[in-house]
Structures are given as structure tokens and as C-alpha cells.
Structure 1
């Protein structure tokens, strides 16, 4: 539920998050499942990756004594040192900083969601199942790095699954050894951003791992909905039982119902994944055309791309994918006269908007092909005074750094604008989510003391409930700029 950030929380030196703004309480679980308990159409690109890891965010019953979850994953010391190394600190300095109290305050930051809360409320929508989104992190991200936008979406009635990719793009990741239970570290690998054969080989291997993981995530979702039991290396015995609580409550079987989203390299991952699955014969990942995954991704599959990083889309070896449009613009496979395509949503930061070559490629990536006869057009926007980190948790946790170094303002509002656009895009794609509150929509007659309980307009399933957020008219929403498409 949305309330203003408490006064004493603002005074605390510990970085913190504001409450989620939707009408539902949010539960969260950390999950790590052996690959051997899942099915994949392709072999593992990296045999070392023997598990998949993700965090679930979902609507739940409100709990008075809910256990909070720390934002920094376990083992916290290793993750903190990895973050400092990612920021170019030497191993010696990273270790030193991780023991200085001022530089380890992030240890105490918690996510405003209930840890291992019993899953889900009974859905109030007509489908009787909760809509599902998969969210892929960018370079330097983890399964927790986008917790606020994932949790905010969950508070509006989505089940959001955030994988932690083991492709060496996270500052550090860990794989649990099934034999002895030990954690095997997967360290970050720095790959230059220059387009050359070595970079192409390195990024494509990462994309192969990421797409393979997303295929396994899809299989895990199907099995969770069917009530399958898994080995979960991240949970206690009691929490493991909670995974069975998702049975028959996830809208993951109807084609086109799962939403796919990501940030930066995660957005690139989603582009390559949905195209690879949809068209087949991909150099990165191929699912059998008769598989549930292939049937799931259709022109009506909702997609959201936050600060899409386009370099990984432009390599020669994957030029066949670059030449193909997103599934939304297909007129052949998995489409029918009754299929309503879902326009892609792309939100850049102002810093990426000013990166002209990346912006041109972003527009091309999410737009229909030339001479495409259709009314379907992408939604493209950016919030002013925003930076690349503004769509992750880092803008909220370290606002003074992003403001001074990156000229990013209003981190909480920037994330709220992103969330509003995603929610409205989902509504227009036929996905049932709760209304955006009048407070979040900044309707003037609501004052700062009004909570979402007072201002919520209901469990809104109507398309266009927050029409202004996707309105391309200049000035419809303060500081929210529509990006013009080429004529």
C-alpha cells in the first residue's frame, strides 16, 4: 500500500525503499532449482550452470508479523565486495570497504515485501489466474537489482519472476552444488563495448546462456502452476512448501499471456529471446515449434524494454534476427484474425535518449518494418532528468550519487512513471491488472496524506484507465516525453 516515506526512514543513514503503491501486499521468495528437475530443448551453453536462480514477487495476504528480506543477497559480504569491484575498486580496496561501517550500510537495507509469504490471494480478475511477467536484469544486475519496479508491479496484481543470470554479467552469482551444498561463485567478466569479433563471441555466449535460462524459467512457471515440487536450495523446508501454493493460479498456459521485460542488456536479451522462439532456427536459442514455449510467444505477447542496449543486437552472426521484426508485427506464425497484437513499450532514460546511435537502433528494434500495413505502433517515451540507473533500484538507494554524477532527479517518481507506463501497456494488451491510483497519476485533488486505500479506483481491468501516461501529446504528464517515430 502506498504511503509517504516515513520521516524517520528518511533520516536513517541506511538506504531504503518507499512502500509499493498498489492495492496488494507483496510477498517474495528466493528460488534456486536444479536444472535436472526442469526440461530444456537445448543443452546447457555452459555446463557449470547446473541451477537456475530467480526471485518471485507476488500478491499475498497482508501479514502483521511479516519477515522482511535483505536487498543484498546472501552471502552479503561477497556480493558487496563484488559490487565494489564492479565499480573498478581493486580487490584489496573492495575488501577493505566491505568492512568499514559507513560503506556496509547497504547490508541492512530491506525490500518492502514479506519474505516467504504464503502465495497468492485468489485472483479477482475474470481469468481466475494472476498474470505473469519475466524481467531480465542488465549488466551489473542481480535478481534483486530491480526489486522496486518488480515489487510495485506485483502490488498491482502481477506475479513477477526476476532471474539472476549466470552468464558472468552479474557482479557475482552463486551456483549451489547439488552434491555437497557448497556455493560455486560465478565472477563478473568485463567485456568491452566495442564491436569486434571477440566482443561478439563473448556477448553471444552470454545471450545463449540467458535465453537458455529464460526457457527453463518458462518451464518452471508451467510446473509451478501444475503443483510440481522442486528442490529449492534457497529455502527452508517450510518455505519450500510455499512453492506449491502457486498451483492453478498462474496465467501461463494461454498463448500470449506471459509478459517479457528487461533493462539494458536484459532488454536486449528479451528482444533476442522472443524473436528466437517466435521465428525458430536462431543462432542463439531454438525451441521446437510444437513446444509450449513456442506456442506462448505470439504477436499478442506484451513486451517492455527499459533503456534497450542495442549493441548486442547488431552482430553479424545474428543479423538474421536483426532483420526480423518483433512478433507484434508478424502476420504469419501464431497469429489469427482474432489475435490482437501488443504494441511494444520502450522507455529510455534521458541519457540514453541523447545517445543518438543507440536511440536510432532502439526505434528500429521496436518499430514495424518498412511498408508494414498495420495500425500497431510502439509506445516510446523517456522521463527527463533520468539516467541509465534510474530504472533500477540504484537510483532510489543512492539518489545523491546519481544526482551528482548523472544529473538524475526525482528517482522515486521516475520509477513510478515507468511502472505506470508498463501497467497501462499491459491493460491495452488485455492483461488484467489493478488500477493505477489517483495519487500515482498525480490527480491534483489528492493531497500528500491520501493513501492508496483512499484513492484506489478499484481493481481495474479496463483498458485506458491511465490514458495520459501513453498519450503522445506533449505535456500530458510532467517531464514525460513521447519520442517521435520516423515518418
Structure 2
């Protein structure tokens, strides 16, 4: 898509983005609270206490605290696969490249920092609970993996990460006790919950009467070059609002670098040594005055990003050869198998078999990539019966969005998945649908403005949304203005200046995360069963997805002011008069002339280069008819 005069762009709009009847631009209603995160009437409960920053974080890059009413716990789990196998015949270095031996994931969940009920365990406050690192261990190797993924020398990448975020911590607490408290009700509000058996009778009760809360589940799938912590801002934020979020680390060659701990002495696993660059350690023994060197088998292997052969840039919009469908479809199939393994582990927690997870967990002291704490301190009995596993939400960024779409199509295999959220999905990587495999479940697509200009990608995502809509499922397709592809990852939050200067990101990165999370919360409030959204008193209600017919059409039309030149499509935006705009912003903030913009909990403005104002931060391209929404709400 190339730049065109304004009138030509207006004429092209129907062809590129859908008919005018379907291209409903729904404005966001800005919260009126001081921090820009309220529900419009100033009654949202306050966020949980913030974890203290480390000394390094005070001078280096840090992640913002989560804004929900819950503290967030964190644990890492690596378990042997129930059915170890490889996917497709694709090989690298004469070894199967896509092989499922173990499954690795992190769990973000609502937690408690004080002592357990009845004084059964010692006091464990935030000062005594460790915070996990943002960069997965071993951190130097992970940095090298990112350099290889970017096809540049690892020395400057490792040095820069070491100087900025090598010691950045997640604002979450490792192995904290899962929360047994209901979140505080907003001032002036009432806590309406159903009876524990779901009998339908609604009653107002105190915390003591309703027992321990049960949490809905989200499984998050990362994109290319990602990891289990690359979208921690989104995963942790959702957990702070009452969700258990499982963040996968896929070992299908789509991540920058990951390590697989081997299980036992299986020769099948020993043959899967992908780390060909570094020779294995050797043992030296003295035999009759001579040194005999024997090769020592490593207890792990490393998986780096797999580039398609003869088509390394299959992710580029300008790639004339298209996507390497053989590799990508095999990767999606392996990703789905990993998600099934993680879901099985959740079932063990739910059934009171958490001790089995602790026994089989490979992320423990002595193993590669592990914390010395492992899963120490977890009381698995407290996880028994605490999860809703009959209507799980799948959420994925980029290639993870393509993974989510395929799971939604496999109704019989993933009957426990009830809806999907696509975060700037990579459309061309999605397998084509057929008459038997079509999306029939609710879908929310939250795209970036940079990807909106990638015409083929936008149309493919739109096809998915229409596929769900044709089956009678609720569907929204939205775009966050001024955002780029990494706006829904932690890189945007940790490196906002580089995002602004190199990718021309216009929206404030933290505001983009907020809009993503609260669009998801609004979507889940509509699509999840009512008993799973009892925490919604704590959710901001800005009606991000609802169509407001009172706003003039001229204010809701999609603007092409920031459409880049063709060579930068999907990679960055264009900022007209960029130098003067940045200069004006610099003088404005220096003079403390702060316009009315969203603010964080500390009162700091969340403005980007431009402030579109209330109702103009999100474009809604597709949305359900009002009649369909009323029908859903009546259920």
C-alpha cells in the first residue's frame, strides 16, 4: 500500500479495510479519573502495593508495576512431554529441528504476600520474596540468541542489554502463595456473586461467606523471537486483575534462544544436540602417563531461531516467495502440542496433584536456565479446585496470533478453549481454512497501526474475523492508533526512546499496553461465563469496544497521516514534521504545560508524541451488531 492523496485514500478505504457498514469506528471513552485508568466515575479500587525497585533498577531500565488490585505471583515450570516426538521431516545439522521433549512455561497469578490463613506458615512478605529476572537465564546466552535472531554480532547486543536490562526484575513474586482473597469492591459498589454451585441465585455476601476465589485462565503464545517473559507486562497485568495466565516458551525454533533440559538417559534425546557451535565439555583421565579425553554428554540442548532455508525473510511484506508454509505450519502444530501439555499440567494443579509437577519439574537447582529456588514454597494444596478449565482463553502475539486461530478452528481437539484474542496477529502465517475447520468462537483482534498498512496481513486477519462472524460468534477487529508491532511487548516499555526514534511509535508504550489489556478485559467480560468474571468490579470500564453513534463520523474515520513509505510498511510509521513535533513536545514538558492526557497511578502523563483525546485512541473496524450484544448480555 503506497501513500495517496487524501481523497484517493478516502475512496480506497472500503476496498482496503472493508465496507462502510462493517468498518465501524468505535471511539474509546476516556476515563475521567486522575490516573486515566478508572471506570469513568472514580470508583475503581486502588492497585496493590508496588514492589520496591532494586538499586540497579533505579538507574537502569525497569518494568512498571501492575495496576490491578492483586499482587502477582510467578513460577517457572518445565515438564517432560507425555509423548516425546518430532514434527515434520525438517532437519538442521542432520537432526530433527522441531522436537517436543519437554514443555516450558511461566505462570502469572494473583497472589498473597502475607502469612497464610491460621498462621500455618511463616510470614512471607514482599521483602522476603524473590522477584524473577526479566531476561531468561542464562542471560548472556539469551542475549546472544537475540543477536543471532537479528543477524548481528552478539558483542554489542550483549553489552547493551547488560548495561540496560540484564538485571531488570519482573514486578512479580516468585512462588508466592496463590491469593485466597476477593479483590476490594469499589467505593459505593456492591459485590454480587453467585452461589458456589452456580445455581443462579445472586446474593451479596462477605468474603468469609463466599470461600476462596476461583480464577479464569488465559494461555499466552509469544511471537517470533519471543520467550515466556517477552510480554510480561500484558500477562502480569491480566493476572493482577484476577486471571491465571500461562505464558508459553515455545521450543519450535520460533524463539530467539531456549534451553531444553534432558530427561533420563534416553538415546533419542541425547541425539538431539542442536548446539553445534560450542563443543561439549570433556573429561580428562590419566591412563599410563597419557591423557585420554572422552566426550561428556551435556544434560541439555539449545534451540535457536530457525530461519527458513532459501527464504530467510519469509516474514517480510516484500518477500515475493511468500511464507514458508511447510516450516510455519509444522511450528504451529508443535506449538499446539505444547499448549496441550501446559493445559494438562493445569489439570494436575486443579485436581490436587501439584506434587507431581514439583517432582517432575526440570527447572530446579543445577539444571540449565533454572533458578535455585525452583518451585520451593509452593503449597499445591491451595491450588486444588482454584481454576476454571472448561472455558480457557487463548491469546497470542504475532505468530502466537496465528497459533491461536488454528486452535480455535480445531473445535474437537480444543473444546476447552472458548475464545481467542489476537494481538497484532501475523496473518499470512495462518493456515487456510476449510469447510470442516473454521473459527466458530468469539474473537478479539487488537492490531497495531503499523500492521494495518500491511494490506495482505490486514485482509487475512479480517477474513478470520468474518469467518467467526459468519458462524454467529461475537467478533471485534480493532487498531491502536500510533502503535507498532512491538507495542504489545516488553521491549516497547523497556526501550521507549528507541521505539520512538527507530520505529516512529507515536502512542505511549505503557498506554498501548493499557489499551490492549482493558480491551481484552471488556471482551472477556462479555464472552466468559458470569461466574468467571466476578472480579469485574475492579476492571476499568471505558467501553473501548462499544460503538458510540453520537460521535460525528468525521471524528472516527481512519486516518492515513502516518502511513509509511512502501519500504517501511509493517516496520515503522511516518511522522510528518517530526523534528518540529519533537521539539514542541520537549519545550512543553520542560515548561510543565501538561495537557489533559491519561496518567499512571503516580500521576505521570502517559502521552506519546500526539494526544488524540477521548474516543480517538482506538479504531474499531468490525464489531458485533447491537442485537447480538444484547442477546449475549441477556444470557
For 1:242, the equivalent position in structure 2 comes to: 378
Q: Is the 8 A contact 2:51 2:126 kept in 1?
A: no
Q: 1:31 aligns with which of 66, 77, 88?
A: 77
Q: Is the 8 A contact 1:171 1:187 kept in 2?
A: yes
Instruction: Please list the CA deviations of residues 261-311 of structure 1 after superposition, one character each: whole Å capped at 9, or x if unmatched.
Output: 1000000001112212x05xxxxxxx4xxxxxx4413xxx12110101111
- Structure 2, unpaired ranges of 5+: 1-46, 88-95, 114-124, 184-192, 197-212, 266-297, 365-371, 549-555, 557-612, 626-635
Instruction: Please list the CA deviations of residues 395-452 of structure 1 after superposition, one character each: whole Å capped at 9, or x if unmatched.
Output: 001111111111113000010000000011111113534767xxxxxxxxxxxxxxxx
User: Is the counterpart of residue 269 in structure 1 residue 403 in structure 2?
Assistant: yes
For 2:150, the equivalent position in structure 1 comes to: 87
Structure 1 residues 373 and 199, CA gap change in structure 2 (3 angstroms): closer
For 2:246, the equivalent position in structure 1 comes to: 161
For 1:259, the equivalent position in structure 2 comes to: 393
Residues 351-362 of structure 1 mapped to structure 2, 5 A cutoff: 351-362=450-461
For 2:21, the equivalent position in structure 1 comes to: none
Q: What is the rounded CA distance, in whole Å, between the counterparts of 1:324 and 1:217 in structure 2?
A: 23
For 2:203, the equivalent position in structure 1 comes to: none
Instruction: Please list the CA deviations of residues 158-194 of structure 1 after superposition, one character each: whole Å capped at 9, or x if unmatched.
Output: 0000010001010001100123883310011123324
User: Is the counterpart of residue 71 in structure 1 residue 134 in structure 2?
Assistant: yes
Structure 1 residues 18 and 200, CA gap change in structure 2 (3 angstroms): same
Instruction: Please list the CA deviations of residues 218-262 of structure 1 after superposition, one character each: whole Å capped at 9, or x if unmatched.
Output: 11111121122121111457725627242211111x3xx211110
Structure 1 residues 142 and 14, CA gap change in structure 2 (3 angstroms): same
Instruction: Please list the CA deviations of residues 116-145 of structure 1 after superposition, one character each: whole Å capped at 9, or x if unmatched.
Output: 212232567646421000000000100000
Q: Is the 8 A contact 2:220 2:395 kept in 1?
A: yes
Q: 2:347 aligns with which of 215, 218, 222?
A: 222
Q: Is the 8 A contact 1:306 1:347 kept in 2?
A: yes
More strand by share: 2
Q: What is the rounded CA distance, in whole Å, between the counterparts of 1:403 and 1:23 in structure 2?
A: 31
Q: CA deviation at 1:20?
A: 0.2
Q: What is the rounded CA distance, in whole Å, between the counterparts of 1:7 and 1:34 in structure 2?
A: 35
For 2:430, the equivalent position in structure 1 comes to: 313
Q: What is the rounded CA distance, in whole Å, between the counterparts of 2:157 and 2:258 in structure 1?
A: 20
Instruction: Please list the CA deviations of residues 2-36 of structure 1 after superposition, one character each: whole Å capped at 9, or x if unmatched.
Output: 68999999994421111101000000001101114
CA radius of gyration, larger in: 2
Q: Which has the higher contact order (CA 8 A, sep 6+)?
A: 2
For 1:469, the equivalent position in structure 2 comes to: 544
Q: Is the 8 A contact 2:241 2:535 kept in 1?
A: yes
Q: CA deviation at 1:361?
A: 1.2
Structure 1 residues 9 and 153, CA gap change in structure 2 (3 angstroms): farther
User: Is the counterpart of residue 326 in structure 1 residue 439 in structure 2?
Assistant: yes
For 2:218, the equivalent position in structure 1 comes to: 133
Q: What is the rounded CA distance, in whole Å, between the counterparts of 1:324 and 1:130 in structure 2?
A: 30
User: Is the counterpart of residue 19 in structure 1 residue 78 in structure 2?
Assistant: no
* Residue range with higher mean Cα deviation, 16-25 or 350-359: 350-359
Structure 1 residues 478 and 4, CA gap change in structure 2 (3 angstroms): farther
User: Is the counterpart of residue 118 in structure 1 residue 177 in structure 2?
Assistant: yes
Q: CA deviation at 1:369?
A: 6.3
Instruction: Please list the CA deviations of residues 42-94 of structure 1 after superposition, one character each: whole Å capped at 9, or x if unmatched.
Output: 955267431100010000003332211100011111001111222221xxx30
Q: Is the 8 A contact 2:440 2:471 kept in 1?
A: no
Task: Determine helix, strand or coil for the equivalent of 2:79.
Answer: strand
Q: What is the rounded CA distance, in whole Å, between the counterparts of 1:8 and 1:53 in structure 2?
A: 27
For 2:272, the equivalent position in structure 1 comes to: none
Q: CA deviation at 1:204?
A: 1.4
Q: What is the rounded CA distance, in whole Å, between the counterparts of 1:102 and 1:170 in structure 2?
A: 17
Q: What is the rounded CA distance, in whole Å, between the counterparts of 2:444 and 2:79 in structure 1?
A: 31
Task: Determine helix, strand or coil for the equivalent of 1:189.
Answer: coil
Structure 1 residues 246 and 4, CA gap change in structure 2 (3 angstroms): closer
Q: Is the 8 A contact 1:57 1:154 kept in 2?
A: yes
Task: Determine helix, strand or coil for the equivalent of 1:483.
Answer: strand
Q: What is the rounded CA distance, in whole Å, between the counterparts of 2:623 and 2:475 in structure 1?
A: 9
User: Is the counterpart of residue 233 in structure 1 residue 367 in structure 2?
Assistant: no
Task: Determine helix, strand or coil for the equivalent of 1:50.
Answer: strand
* Residue range with higher mean Cα deviation, 171-180 or 144-153: 171-180
Question: Pairwise CA RMSD of aligned residues?
Answer: 3.1
User: Is the counterpart of residue 481 in structure 1 residue 541 in structure 2?
Assistant: no
Q: What is the rounded CA distance, in whole Å, between the counterparts of 2:179 and 2:133 in structure 1?
A: 21
For 1:405, the equivalent position in structure 2 comes to: 502
Q: Is the 8 A contact 1:468 1:477 kept in 2?
A: no
Q: What is the rounded CA distance, in whole Å, between the counterparts of 1:237 and 1:486 in structure 2?
A: 47
* Residue range with higher mean Cα deviation, 157-166 or 397-406: 397-406
Q: What is the rounded CA distance, in whole Å, between the counterparts of 2:104 and 2:64 in structure 1?
A: 26
TM-score, normalised to structure 1, is: 0.77
TM-score, normalised to structure 2, is: 0.60
* Residue range with higher mean Cα deviation, 79-88 or 393-402: 79-88
Q: What is the rounded CA distance, in whole Å, between the counterparts of 2:75 and 2:488 in structure 1?
A: 22
Task: Determine helix, strand or coil for the equivalent of 1:60.
Answer: strand
Task: Determine helix, strand or coil for the equivalent of 2:326.
Answer: helix
Q: What is the rounded CA distance, in whole Å, between the counterparts of 2:616 and 2:226 in structure 1?
A: 29
Task: Determine helix, strand or coil for the equivalent of 1:320.
Answer: coil
For 1:424, the equivalent position in structure 2 comes to: 522
Q: What is the rounded CA distance, in whole Å, between the counterparts of 1:33 and 1:96 in structure 2?
A: 34
- Structure 1, unpaired ranges of 5+: 280-286, 288-293, 329-342, 437-457
